[in-house]
Amino acid sequence: AARPLRPARGTADAAGLARFTTNRLAAGTHVLTARQTTTTSAPVTQVVAAAERSLWFTSQYGDSIGQGATAGFVPPSASVLLRGSASFATISVDDAASGQWWYVDVAAPPGQTRRVGSYTGATRASVRGPGEPGLDVSGSGRGCNTLTGSFTVNQISTNTDGSIAALDVAFTQH
């Protein structure tokens, strides 16, 4: 059953675009609408799975990698893998049903390990310099050679061998 949401408020930008973030929705099905004065949008259904591993993203209109899409990938319909260490981790997605694949690299500055907190001034993960955190998002044949961005590590843990066990990260890439 759909779960009712509390009203959220936003302000439209110069182009008339308002954003509403759904990353804190509980698992389940949610029906969302937007209302401005007396006009209400068509309803959009957002399903939030209670998956142990998932990748969710929202891309801005005109973005060459995400192409303005909003997508979520969760098992069993998609393979979502996490590998790496506390210094450099890769989240990879293979969604056979849609033919899409995605990679997200999240890295601490060289010589450091990621900890809970925000990292600004991120550059491409594979070529980051001293003091620079790394980020790289690519998908279905689209990627960038240069980028800027930031990410926030909400949770991170490693296994006894140093491999990554859990990672909850929110990111912005330009």
Express each pLDDT in 48-75 by its tens digit.
766 577 888 887 777 777 777 788 888 8
Distance CA 160, CA 60 (A): 39
| Prediction pTM value | 0.68
pLDDT of residue 148: 81
Q: 152, 158, 144: which is closest to 171 by C-alpha?
A: 152
For residue 18, give Cα distances in angstroms to 10, 84, 86.
6, 36, 35
* Rounded average pLDDT over 94-109: 91
* Rounded average pLDDT over 136-152: 83
Per-residue b or e along 109-138, where b marks 16 or more CB atoms closer than 10 Å to that residue's CB: beeeebeeeebeebbbbeebeeebbbbbbe
Q: 102, 120, 115: which is closest to 54 by C-alpha?
A: 102
Select the more confidently predicted residue: 97 or 89: 89
Distance CA 54, CA 81 (A): 9
